[in-house]
Homo-oligomer: A and B are copies of this chain.
Amino acid sequence: MKIGLDTMGGDFAPENEVLGALEALPELQENSCIVLFGDEKLIKAVCKKQGADPSCFEIVHTTEIIGMHDHPAKAFAQKPDSSMAAGFKALSSGMIDGFASPGNTGAMMAGVMYTVRTIEGILRPCISCFYPFIGGGSGLLLDVGLNADCKAENLYQYAILGSLYLKGVTGMEAPRVALLNIGEEESKGNLLMKAAHEMMSKTNHFHFVGNIEGNEVFTGKKADVVVCDGFVGNVVLKMAESFYHLALRQGIETDFFGKLNYESHGGTPVLGVNAPVIIGHGSSSPKAIKNMILITEKTVKAKLVEKVKSVITKTAFPDNAG
C-alpha cells in the first residue's frame, strides 16, 4: 500500500511532516510505504538532519505550495504543481492508495471534488473523528464540520458511512449508531433530529440504537458511532479537544485526556468520497503527522469505498427519504 503525504501544506512544513513520516515508518505494516509530495531538496535536508536515509520514502518533487490563505477552489487551477494537487492527481490515478495533508482544509475539499469526487449516491461527504471512551476503546463522531446545515437524509448517510467505516477499521461486527440529541425519547430534539430518528428507526443498513445525550458520548455505554450535523459535531469536537488543554492547565495528564488531544488521532477521515483522504490540523506536530499516516493506512485497509458503493447502489435510500 502506498500512503501519500503532502509535506508542504502545514504551518511547520516540511519539517514536521517529514519528522512525522519518519516516526510512522516503523509502525506501518511491511507492505506499506510512504510517498512524500513536496520540495525534494527540503525533504532530503530534514532527513539528513535526522540521520535518516531519504530512500526510505518515495518522493514526488513539486514546486508549488497551496498555503492557508490561498483561495480553496482557485488554488487548484492556479497551482497544478503544488504538493496537494500532485497528491490528489496521484490518488486519482491510483498511484497512491490514500492521501493525507495537514494543509488548507478548503483546498483539500476542493481537491476531493475536482479529482476523486463523491461516491455516486452520496449526497454530501462528511468528516469524522475518533474519540476515546472513558473505560477504553473509542467511538466515531460525524459530521465534525463539513456541513453545518444538514437534512435528515444527510444524517442517514453519515450513519451508513460511519458504521461501515468503523466496521472496516476495527472489525466490529455491528457498531451501535446513535443520534446526538437532547433527550432519549424519539420525540425529543430539533426538527432535524426528529426527522432523522424517524428515518433511522426503520433502517436495516446499520444498527440504530436511538438517541444519546451530550453526557453519554464519552462513556461509550450506548453508542460506537455518534451522528450529528457538522455544526454540532464541530462544536463538540473542539470542546472535547479543549478539555485536554483544560486538564493540562490544572496539571493533569491522563490517558483519557491525552486521547482528546488532536495529536493522538492526527486527522479526520473524509467519508463518502472515492478514495481515502485524511485532513489534519495545519499546526500538526510530528506526533500528529505520524498518527495521521497511521490512520490513513487503517482507512485504506478498511476498503470503505467498495462497501459504501455496494450499500448505496443496492438501496441508495430508505423508502421514506423523499
Contact = CB atoms under 8 A, between A and B. Distances in A.
B189 A214 contact: no
Interface in A200-240: 213-219, 228-232, 234-240
A255 B280 CA distance: 33
A213 B213 CA distance: 20
A185 to B, nearest CB: 12
Name the residue in A149, A214, A228, A236 with the highest tally of chain B Cβ atoms < 10 Å from its Cβ.
Answer: A214
| Listed residue (A217, A230, A231) with the most chain B CB atoms within 10 angstroms of its CB | A231
B239 A190 contact: no
A174 interface: no
Contact of A243 (B182, B243, B254): B243
A11 interface: no
Contacts of A246: 134, 218, 256
A307 B122 CA distance: 51
A240 B239 CA distance: 9
B235 A213 contact: yes
A207 B98 CA distance: 47
B180 A235 contact: yes
Contact of A241 (B189, B215, B243, B256): B215
A56 interface: no
Contacts of A52: none
A269 to B, nearest CB: 19
A215 B239 contact: yes
A117 B84 CA distance: 58
A33 to B, nearest CB: 35
A4 interface: no
B189 A148 contact: yes
B145 A182 contact: yes
A215 B182 CA distance: 21
19 contacts: A148-B189, A149-B190, A180-B235, A182-B238, A190-B231, A193-B231, A213-B235, A214-B235, A214-B238, A214-B239, A215-B239, A215-B242, A217-B239, A218-B239, A219-B242, A232-B235, A235-B236, A239-B240, A252-B252
Interface of A: 134, 145, 148-149, 180, 182, 189-191, 193, 213-219, 228-232, 234-243, 245-247, 249-250, 252, 254, 256-257
The 10 closest A-B pairs by CB, nearest first: A214-B238, A214-B239, A215-B242, A148-B190, A182-B234, A214-B235, A215-B238, A190-B231, A149-B190, A250-B254
